[in-house]
Amino acid sequence: RERERERELSLVLSGKANWECGFGSNMATDVVEAPSPTSQPPSHFSQPRHFYLAVDRIQFKMDTLVDLLGMAGRRPCLPMVVCCSTRDELDVVCSAVSNLSYISVASLYSDLAEAERALILQKFRQATMRWNQNATVQSGDDSEIGNEEQKSHLIVVTDACLPLLASGESPITARVLINYELPAKKETYMRRMATCLATGFSISCNNTF
């Protein structure tokens, strides 16, 4: 199963498939899947395709997230976002992924200084540009991953701190969006998609307990 999951992820990142994943059971999973054209380069998908991972034990939820980031994060410069519903969730996620040496982790929360927030978003958008320029490059060995610029970039954010598009703030434009907890309201979910995922795929893991 692990090899199959790695193969699926490889297809997604190479542009031959799109994959969405999120963690939670509050919202109905009725998002319509739309096939993405394989003739277009990976950085030009017009609509993501949604997939879901089932988590049958709450204690496995964080392990599933770390395993997922462990596979995806080894892609050089891959821009990823994890959306959380609360600050407590954000803190737990940041603590769990902080030891992944091949991922540069930053977080956006309500009491973050504006200058620091702007710097985090600027660095992330630079990582997105590098990913788009090298979308067909396969992951190298661990020595390449050790280079700071080659690390995948991850932003962990709460719904309250998502970019305000109506105020002129630019979207984050990640390649991978992970919903650690699916929001109860569909409008919140759609806002996550609009502000975090211009192209690429989103990931949602559903609780089955």
Secondary structure of 58-80 as H, E, C letters: HHHHHHHHHHHHHHHCCCCCCEE
pLDDT digits (tens, 9 = 90+) for 50-104: 667 777 777 788 888 888 888 887 788 889 999 998 999 999 999 999 888 889 9
The tokens for 10 are: 């490889």
pLDDT digits (tens, 9 = 90+) for 197-207: 756 667 776 66
E strand segments, 93-165? 103-108, 152-158
For the chain, what is the mean pLDDT? Answer: 74
So what's the pLDDT on residue 25? 43
CB atoms within 10 A of CB 194: 13
CB atoms within 10 A of CB 123: 14
Homologous superfamily assigned to 62-133+147-184+191-209:
P-loop containing nucleotide triphosphate hydrolases (3.40.50.300)
The tokens for 124 are: 């992330």
Residue 122 has pLDDT above 80, yes or no: yes
Amino acid at residue number 21 = C
pLDDT digits (tens, 9 = 90+) for 133-157: 876 554 444 444 446 677 889 999 9
Amino acid at residue number 83 = C
Q: Residue 105's beta-bridge partner residues?
A: 154
SS3 107: strand
Q: Measured between alpha carbons, how far is 49 from 31 in angstroms, rounded to an integer?
A: 9
Query: Where do we find the tokens 């995806």?
Result: 72
So what's the pLDDT on residue 173? 85
pLDDT cut 90: percent of the chain above it: 23
Higher-confidence residue: 164 or 31?
Answer: 164
* Average pLDDT estimate for 106-124: 92
Higher-confidence residue: 49 or 41?
Answer: 49
